[in-house]
């Protein structure tokens, strides 16, 4: 157990995934690529439908709680399907047959490890320097290269880099030397292209908001879908301006399909693990709504 309670570090996530596969053989597991420190970035598939959608979490290291959120949903969904039950009042078999859900629970494994387990390499001079000289890495958002992975995508990347005004590696807000400079960003970009998703949702913390637009590239149905998500969850659908280069932004711009960032929970990151039950109660409703669309 780490100092934050029961948040899943990388090893804990991998163990949970293997146990899920053992209990529910119909799950598919794999990897979308490897991180800077050569960790696999796991992906799970549940469902066999021709409609493919994608959820991801932990783009930002200090938002590690989103990994637990997604693993918990997969567990609930798989158990319901195995026993012929429903999830949030929706028949699990119907969702399984209609939609293939691909989940990447931890986009940024190296960063999460830095935040949760305080590995030995936290003493590396550059990490300490990028963290303002502090050995407290609890607020670290970036990957282990000091790059914000959600500022890495070719959707007005230069504009976002100028807006951030962070010119060098840091604990947060450094966009990198170029779009897709980081292996984690390249991995999820290639995975997204390969799978041709009808919809993607990136789960972040915090604010209980749903961002659904990007520079008018989004399809007409995106706002209505966001409002449905808001209605079932109690979150607020927000038309966002002044933000670029995120995964959701790139997906909308590139594919002209519905893409969303869902900011779960309330407070200051990292949110305490004690919020997970409340977060799950709301965010899981969004997940089910996305599956049954």
List, by residue number, the catalytic residues.
263
Max CA separation in the chain (angstroms)? 54
CA distance 242 to 150: 14
User: Residue 189: how many CA atoms within 13 Å on its side-chain side?
Assistant: 22
Cα 70 off chain centre by: 9
Cβ–Cβ under 8 Å, residues 163 and 132: no
φ, ψ for residue 133, nearest 5 deg: 85, 0
Kindly report the three-state secondary structure assignment for every residue of 122-149: HHCHHHHHHCCCCCCCCCCCCCCCCCCH
β partners of residue 55: 103, 201
User: Residue 45: how many CA atoms within 13 Å on its side-chain side?
Assistant: 19
Cβ–Cβ under 8 Å, residues 17 and 71: yes
Q: What angle do CA 43, 46, 48 make, to 5 degrees?
A: 120
Work out the burial of residue 274: count CB atoms within 10 Å of its CB; fewer than 13 is exposed, 13-18 middle, 19 or more buried. Answer: exposed
CA distance 198 to 55: 12
Nearest to 261 by CA among 276, 274, 218: 218
């Amino acid at each position: 157990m780490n100092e934050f309670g029961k948040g899943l570090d990388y090893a804990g996530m991998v163990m949970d995934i293997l146990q899920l596969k053992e209990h529910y053989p119909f799950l598919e597991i794999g990897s979308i690529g490897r991180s800077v420190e050569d960790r696999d970035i796991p992906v799970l598939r549940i469902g066999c439908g021709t409609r493919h959608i994608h959820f991801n979490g932990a783009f930002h290291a200090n938002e590690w709680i989103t990994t637990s959120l997604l693993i918990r949903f997969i567990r609930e969904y798989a158990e319901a399907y195995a026993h012929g039950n429903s999830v949030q009042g929706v028949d699990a078999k119907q969702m399984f047959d209609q939609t293939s859900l691909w989940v990447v629970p931890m986009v940024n494994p190296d960063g999460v490890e830095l935040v949760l387990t305080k590995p030995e390499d936290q003493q590396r001079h550059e990490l300490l320097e990028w963290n303002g000289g502090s050995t407290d890495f609890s607020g670290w958002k970036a990957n282990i290269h000091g790059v914000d992975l959600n500022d890495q995508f070719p959707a007005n990347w230069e504009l976002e880099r100028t807006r951030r005004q962070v010119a060098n590696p840091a604990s947060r807000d450094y966009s990198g030397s170029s779009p897709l400079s980081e292996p984690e960003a390249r991995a999820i970009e290639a995975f997204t292209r390969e799978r041709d998703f009808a919809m993607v949702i990136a789960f972040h913390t915090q604010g209980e908001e749903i961002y659904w637009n990007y520079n008018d590239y989004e399809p007409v149905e995106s706002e209505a879908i966001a409002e449905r998500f808001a209605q079932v969850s109690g979150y607020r659908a927000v038309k966002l301006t002044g933000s670029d280069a995120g995964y959701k932004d790139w997906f909308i711009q590139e594919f002209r399909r519905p893409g969303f960032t869902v900011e779960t929970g309330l407070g200051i990151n990292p949110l305490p693990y004690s919020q997970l039950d409340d977060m799950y109660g709301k965010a899981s409703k969004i997940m089910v709504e996305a599956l049954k669309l």
